[in-house]
Structure formats: C-alpha cells, structure tokens
Chain A
C-alpha cells in the first residue's frame, strides 16, 4: 500500500506537524518528515482529528431503503468526517437477533466508507416486553456491545433493570431513549410557551428527566453502566451531573441540533424541525453546551435520522420525527462549542471520537494520532464558511434543518485505515 504524507496540519488543533501514513497505520508523526514515495496532502492551517465516531446513527437498512441504506449512510458519514458509526436497531425487521445484526455488519464491511457497528435491540421488536437474545448478538460476528430500543423508551422499570444487569456479563451497555410514554402521548413539540401558542401537543421535559432519574438510580442499584441518548433538557443535565458526582456509571450524549436550535423554529410549522426529543428552549441549549464543555455530557452523537421528502413535506402532525446530521455535525459543533470558546479541538476529539469509541467498546477507533495507531483520521478546514445545500448531501435523504444556513468548517479528507474515503471534500 502507498504512503500518504499529511503536511503541516494542526494535530488536535495543536502544533503543526507532519503525519505519515503507511498502509493502514500511522507510521510517524513529527516535523519535516520525508515525503519520499508518499502522496503529499498540503494541510497547513487545517486541523487533524482522529476519525469521528457516531454512537447514534439510523442507517434504515433493512426496511426503509427509500430513506437511507448502509451504503448511502456510510458515504454520508465519511463526508462528515466519521470513520465509525453505530447503527441503531429500529430497522424493519428490528435488529433484535444475531441474524439481523450480522446482516447490517456485513453491509457495513462491503460499503468500505466507514465501519458500521450494529446496536442490538434491548427487547424483542422494541416492544419493551421481552429481552432480545442479547448474548447471542454479542457472540455473533457483529460483536454487539451497545443495546438500545431507541425510538422507543425501555419504560418498564423491571425490564430496564434486568437489561442493565444482564449485559454486565459481557461488558455491554444499555443506551436509553428517555421518554416516559404516557407523558408523551400525542406529543408534537417541546411543551412550553411555544406549544401553548401553536396548539401542538406538548412533549414535557419531565418525560425525559423522570426516566433518566430512574435509570441512573437503577444503574447504581445493580452496579451497571447506563448510557443516555440525546439529552435535551437543562433538568436532564442536572440529574446526570448529580449521578456522576455520586459515582454512578453513567454516560450521556447530546445531538448537534440540540446544541443550536430551539423550539422557536417550530413557529414555521416546517416539519424539518420536528425531531424526537424535540427542540427545546434557549435555556436548555445553553445548559447542554455548558454540560458538554464541563464533561457532564460525554459525547456528541448525531441521531442521524433520514426520512424521505414526502414524510416531511406535509402538515406538522403527519410528519415523521428526525433530522439528518452526519454531514453537518462537525460544523455545528465548531460553531456552538469551538467558536464560542467552550471547547478546543482536543476537546472536540475527545467528545466526537475518543469517548464515543470508549463507550461503545471500539478498540480501533478513537485512538491517539501517533505512530503505530490505525490511520483513521479526519482533516478539517476550520476557516471555511459555507451555506448548507442539501442537494450536495451524500445521504439519500435531505431532511436537514440547516438548509440555507451558513456554518463553519469543512471536512477535506477522511481516512479509514489509511485509505482516503474523502479527498478535497469529495467522496473518493
């Protein structure tokens, strides 16, 4: 395999260095490395990050290939600087057996753009009643360690307790979509001032917070770790902060859209802003940013949720919930966290690569940019400014809330085990 020399990039936003890739690994990191026999990428001024890892992606295959496939989704991931994504289990059929997770895992291998680590459903059919064969999924070729009924909450306290306990046997973790179902029947948007005016069914913060409070206490009681998906409220932040201070083994994620957008946007009744959990208030957004900065929230995860145009181009109540996010995540995080001074690029590397790989148990992703490590890398032109045009997305779906919005930063190159999946901002 050929050599690639990335010249003069600021590694994790620090000092400019050269990085030499040889085959699948990083051969050398230093000053003035020899370019002999290597393809040279001039990267002065750009930031080099470990390949991004997304703990929360909906790839939709099998079952909803009209919105996304493993191939189109991993192309979108590579475009966004990701080298590994965790594929959520709410497919058709549900990824609740070894057979389905192995299918998704194989499709990921074939795509070649990004590693795909399937997530297994906690309960059969996501119905919250009977545990899936969690051990069989772990023992399969897909080596599942993250389990989630995402899209639905494991609302039965006993089922949740058992799942938390059971996966300890093989180092698994349950990722909870925290949504008390009775409190959110008919919910259409955040419950508050805006929902009162618009006459849309409210999704109250307490429906998320009560489940998180219960689950951190359950995790403490049974000595398990628990991961909280897409935290969206200031109250949830307080609960997780309290749980961590108490030594409870909890990790939490926030989506890019919850770091930037608020429920004021729903006044347009434009369903691109319809998402679950819903966009919250400015106060929540600020609390989430602060929590991501101080480590209360461990990671950014996209909750990339593709939907075909017709499922969004309709009245609000009839529209599907979710937004695509893989191709805009890093830009939104740059705007909300880096340009606000809340995090530096090393902090971004921690929250978008190191920590998600650690939580999800991926050994070959989220590694330091140093000699001997797998060459999973993302090069970012942070000085770039551009307007989001969904027509250029690699994803099969276009349901982005950022259309027409100017965002900073652009992924110029992505390397998956030494092979460029993105070159000069285009898929290779």
Chain B
C-alpha cells in the first residue's frame, strides 16, 4: 500500500481486499470485552478538521484509540481561507508536534493531496473528505458493508465485489462519497450505475468507470445495493431541481420503489439522512437499510486503514502484539 490514502483510485484491488480483510479482523476485536489493541501504542494520530463533521471525527478517533494511538483533535474550521493560519503553517505545526498520521477533513478539494505532496510534513496523510473530491474511507466502509451483506462475513474474506450491481443515487456532482465509491467499486469488480437528474451529474462523467442513468425506476430492479446520497435542500435555490417534492418524487427512495429491488438487495446511506427528501422513514428504518451498520463498520475500516498505514506488515491481531515504533520519526 502507498504511504497515504488520498484517493480511492490509489488502491489496487489487492490493497482494497487487504483493507477489508483487516477490517474484519478489527471488527472481531470490537466484539471482545476489551476492545483495545496495543498495535499503535506510542504513535500520534492527529484529526485535522477544517470542516465540521462530528460523525467522521469520532469514527477516526475511536479507531485510533482502539489501536492505542494517542489522538489529538485539531479543529481549524474556517481559519485557512481567511487570512488566518494557512494549511501550510498548520502542517508545520503538526510536524513539530510529531504527528505520525494526519487525518484531514477539508472544504477544499485537493487539500489532503497538497498536504501529502508539498514537503510540509512527513507523516502519513489520510483523506477524511476533501471538498467535492473524495472520501476514500467512506467508500471502504461502504464496500465492507456490501461485501458482508452480499457475499458474507466469512465467505467474503479474500474476495472482492465482482459482478455486483451497485447503484448510487443523488447529488453526484457535489458528492465526494460518490467519486470515491465509483473508483473503489470499479476496482473491486462491481458494476456501478450513478442515477441523478442531469443537473447533478458532472460534465466529464463519461470518463468515469460507471454507467449513468436519469431514471431510478429503470435501475432499481437490476441493483444489488442502492446507495442514497444526501441531497442538500439548498441545491434547489441554484436551480439544480425545481422543488424538494419533485426531487423526492423522481429520485427519492420510498417503500414502493424499494419493493422493485431484488429481495436480497440492500439500501445504503452515508448519513446524515434527509428523511423525506432522498429517503423516506419507512425505508430508512427497514432492515434492508444499512445506515447504522455502516457507522459501526466505519470504525473497523478506519482501524484497518490506520493500522496498515502505520503498523505495517505484522498481523494486526496477535496474542503477543508488541508496540511499534515508527523509525522515520
């Protein structure tokens, strides 16, 4: 695996399967009475958040702590674009503090890439969501969830998502979750279709490894998993769609539509959900919806990512795990 996780496209099929397999090992730890591994003891993980996201931050925080890393939360909301502290100065500060990994969330697309490649910092960089670019750990936890549900918890080990038909619905244009998922799911052998009103599909989508459809009803019967993206209500003010009602009529998932899906098919949502907009309460609360599971899987998946970036080659879960010291520091 590479030293950083910036884009889902950085992962080979084998990298991704290794992460998912490792995440399964991590998930088993979560079922133990003591949920902690000593693997990253002595290492420091910084959660650098330029954008509010309590959900993602606590997920990474829980992941790092279960691996016994020291966690520093650094909230730099809004300070970058204004003439406050720049991304570069923040990076130099973290470097001086001896961060071994920086988990960065930023409102600007490409900020994690800049952080990893500008020579400002030595540590591993994990993209926790940048602008409308990517959110690779979300895609990994989604793939983990799909593999468990569609292939099986134990049966899935070592396997990818070959031939599974995954549909991603909603504001693809502004969605980092969609970008990362399309890349990763393609790498894992899935057949991906994105569904959205044409206004919410990016110009240039033809280079993506997926199909594009404007009709949810056409695609639902041919889907093994349907991922509903959050759609911000404000988008209608920029004329991306006429009204909320019209959006949910055409692209929202309700009970009737869910009934058109194959019986085994699941409904996913990265959260937070806009109930009544892209998804009805009936669907959100049904046992086909994996939204809550995805949150739990997020911790295991992020443990796997941190472990593989920082811990290296040893098995993650052993009875005599020794603390590892990062040599480059």
Contacts and interface: CB of A to CB of B under 8 A. Distances in A.
Contact of B203 (A199, A202, A270): A202
Most chain A beta-carbon contacts within 10 A, residue among B87, B106, B202, B205: B202
Interface stretch (B108-116, B155-163, B241-249): B108-116
Contacts of A197: 179, 204, 207-208
Residue in B108, B118, B134, B176 with the greatest tally of chain A CB atoms within 10 Å: B108
A316 B108 contact: yes
Given A191-B204, A193-B204, A314-B80, A198 B110 contact: yes
Interface residues of A, number: 24
Given A199-B131, A317-B81, A318-B108, A269 B113 contact: yes
Interface in B173-217: 176, 179, 202-208
A268 B113 CA distance: 8
- The size class of the interface chain B forms with chain A is 20 to 34
Contacts of B111: 315-316
Given A314-B87, A318-B80, A196 B202 contact: yes
Contacts of B207: 193, 196-197
A315 B108 contact: yes
B68 interface: no
A110 B87 CA distance: 40
A398 to B, nearest CB: 15
Contacts of A199: 109, 130-134, 176, 179
Given A193-B206, A193-B207, A310-B86, A200 B81 contact: no
B204 A314 contact: no
A357 B206 CA distance: 44
A200 B179 contact: no
A313 B88 contact: yes
Nearest to A318: B81
A200 B109 contact: yes
A386 B215 CA distance: 56
A191 B205 CA distance: 11
A29 interface: no
Contacts of A192: 203-204
Contacts of B205: 196
A188 B202 CA distance: 14
B110 A195 contact: no
A172 interface: no
- Among A195, A199, A310, the most chain B Cβ lie within 10 Å of the Cβ of A199
Interface string B58-96: 000000000000000000000011000011100000000
A188 B80 CA distance: 17
Question: A192, A195, A200, A317: which has the most chain B beta carbons within 10 Å?
Answer: A317
Residue with the greatest number of chain B CB neighbours at <10 A, chosen from A188, A198, A269, A315: A315
Interface of B: 80-81, 86-88, 106-111, 113-114, 117-118, 130-134, 176, 179, 202-208
28 contacts: A191-B204, A192-B204, A193-B204, A194-B204, A195-B202, A195-B203, A196-B202, A196-B208, A197-B179, A197-B208, A198-B109, A198-B133, A199-B130, A199-B131, A199-B133, A200-B110, A202-B203, A269-B109, A269-B113, A270-B114, A313-B86, A313-B118, A314-B80, A315-B110, A316-B108, A317-B81, A317-B110, A318-B108
* Complex A-B, nearest 9 residue pairs according to Cβ-Cβ distance, in ascending order: A196-B204, A269-B110, A199-B133, A199-B132, A196-B202, A317-B108, A193-B204, A315-B108, A315-B111
Given A201-B132, A317-B81, A318-B80, 16 more contacts: A191-B203, A195-B203, A197-B179, A198-B109, A198-B110, A198-B133, A199-B132, A200-B109, A269-B110, A269-B114, A270-B114, A313-B86, A315-B106, A315-B114, A316-B109, A318-B86
